[in-house]
Each structure stands twice: as structure tokens, then as C-alpha cells.
Amino acid sequence: MKKDDFKTLMAQQTDAELIRILSLPEALYQPEALLAAKAEFSNRNLSENAYTALKETDEASQQAAQDRATVPLEKHLKFLAFFFPGIIQLVFIDMFEANGYHRKAEELNKWTLFGTGFYILLAIVAIMIW
């Protein structure tokens, strides 16, 4: 990318995105990109207070995303997934993933597989008994 391209790119960033770029380790960006980000930050006359506030907001949002990712699946959903495995769980798994609830999605997938396995085993036993 040319230097002018970085200037244009940084001018399109929101204040929060610009601060996020400047907050990350410098090794992640090309030197020209960092210079353009710093220049754009200066052009916008953002104060240190605005920088600190936006950085804290970004950190809080990242923490909230991390917290969402580790929320366990509720017991009643485990029960439903086990005893009523089916296609609807796939919709819920996708919904959980899309909203950042990665652990919930993983556990719902696991309990749905357990339930499916249970019914397969039950069918095999029933066939063997007849």
C-alpha cells in the first residue's frame, strides 16, 4: 500500500477504531500505517481524556465478549438437547456462536450428540431384544 492509501484508510476509521489501532503492539502494523494513524489522531484533536475513555470502553467491550464466550449452557437446555436431539439444536448452536457464546454452543453440540447416541443405542438394544 502507498502512504496516501494509509492516510485515506485511517481517515475512514472511527475514533474508537483509530484508538484500537494505536493501542495494539506496533509490530502488528506497517510503519507507514502507524504514522498515518498517529497523524489522523492528531488531525482530529482528540484529547488524552477522549483517548482514555475510548480505550476503557474498548477494553470493557472486549472483556464482555470474553465473559460471554465462557458462559456455560443451562441445565434445562442440556436436558432438552439430550432427550430431544434434532435439527433445532443446530439453529441454536449457530445462534450461540453468532452471539459469542462459544462454550454454550460447544456444550449444546455435545449434549445433542449424547442424546443422539443414546437413542441409537436404545434402538440397537430394542432390535437385539426382539
Residue-wise pLDDT tens digits, 59-100: 888 888 899 999 999 999 999 999 999 889 989 999 999 999
pLDDT value of position 1: 63
For residues 32 and 7, the answer to whether their CB atoms sit within 8 Å is no
> Do the beta carbons of residue 118 and residue 126 sit within 8 Å?
no
pLDDT for residue 37 is more than 80: yes
CA torsion angle 87 93 98 103 (round to 10): 180
CA distance 71 to 39: 40
Which residue, chain included where needed, has cell 498517529?
Answer: 38
Tell me the mean pLDDT in the region 20-29: 81
- Name which of 75, 73, 79 is nearest 92 in CA terms: 73
More confident position, 50 or 73: 73
- Would you state the pLDDT for residue 2? 64
Gap between the Cα atoms of 88 and 64, Å rounded: 27
For residue 87, give the C-alpha cell. Answer: 435439527
Helix (H) or strand (E) holding 11: helix 3-11
Say if residue 3's pLDDT is above 70: no
